[in-house]
Amino acid sequence: MGESPEGILGSLREQWNQNGYIHIRKALSAADVERALAGVDFAVRQQDLVRTAHISYRNDQEHSVRVRNAAAASPALLELVDHPGVLPTLVELLGPDLHVLGSEAFVREGGDAPLEGWHTDGGASLMGIVLDPASRALQLKVQYFLTDVSRPDSGNFTVIPGSHRIRPERLDDDCYLPEPNDYWRRGEMPPNAVQILAEPGDAVVFPYNLWHAVAPNSAGRTRRSVIIRYGHLWCRPLDFHRMPAEVVASMTERQRLMFGELGDEAHPTDFYKLVMR
């Protein structure tokens, strides 16, 4: 699949460059949401599968469960990696050599304190890279919201718009950001922070270096979401070395390419040259 000649039009490109994220409303249909919800619940239950398929399952905190490499656990979650509701936007931002670097399913319960502190993604090496506005993206994520977070303090994905243009003064491997987290500890929102109000089926696309966190879930409703991480074919995955063979066998040709499955005859330079079809 090649790039469209028009690119991301007008306000959408401006939103990406200025705010550092794109909110795609109704990216998933109601039927897609139901399949994905079932996929998340299945992935969380499959602890035996988790141990045998290079899938990481753990309680991040008392209020949250995260399944890493979730696309290997459920066909319904594998479908999300090249979903037509977001794929054109990904191709425009990254280019046509999309590589799935990881997939996570989250189940977050209630909590009056923030569910996750302010951080960037990808370790100190990525934390220190700020791209030119004209550049293609380097790595980004898509978060699919499967339950209602259309009101504040529902465990909302929370961002500081424009922070992807700020290089943190301290580059730590854990990527947590002292200044905005000081506000969190005082029970305050950092200046200019925004809670994303999303309905089931919405998706948010954001880069590795956008400052982000998860707001309190004082509403007490269970929040479910799926995050897919993308880079270029030459980027290393975060959740797996290679996907399990039985999962690769179930993929479409495009999905195999997106997971770096180029075949035994591939040349190392192919990871710099091949594009999606």
Q: Decide: 228 and 91 in contact? Cβ < 8 Å.
A: no
Give the pLDDT of residue 144: 98
pLDDT (tens digit, 9 = 90+) per residue, 11-25? 777 889 999 999 999
Domain 10-272 has CATH 2.60.120.620: yes
Q: Decide: 239 and 231 in contact? Cβ < 8 Å.
A: no
Give the pLDDT of residue 112: 87
* Separation of alpha carbons 15 and 93, rounded Å: 12
Query: Which single residue is written with the structure tokens 């990406």?
Result: 16
Counted residue by residue, the chain has a size of 277
Q: What are phi and psi of 82, to 5 degrees?
A: -130, 40
- What residues form DSSP beta bridges with 57? 67
Take residue 119 and report the two structure tokens written for it. 């951080």
* Separation of alpha carbons 198 and 183, rounded Å: 24
pLDDT (tens digit, 9 = 90+) per residue, 75-120? 999 999 999 999 999 999 999 999 999 999 999 988 888 999 999 9
Instruction: Tell me the whole-structure pTM to 2 decimals.
Output: 0.91
Give the pLDDT of residue 48: 47
Residue ranges of the chain whose pLDDT lies below 50: 1-7, 48-60
Query: Which single residue is written with the structure tokens 């656990």?
Result: 73
Q: Decide: 99 and 232 in contact? Cβ < 8 Å.
A: yes
Take residue 10 and report the two structure tokens written for it. 């007008």
Neighbours of 216 (CB within 10 A): 21
User: Which element (helix H / strand E) includes 36?
Assistant: helix 30-45
Q: Where are the domains of the chain?
A: 10-272
Within 109-256, strands assigned E span: 116-119, 140-145, 157-159, 194-195, 203-207, 212-214, 223-232
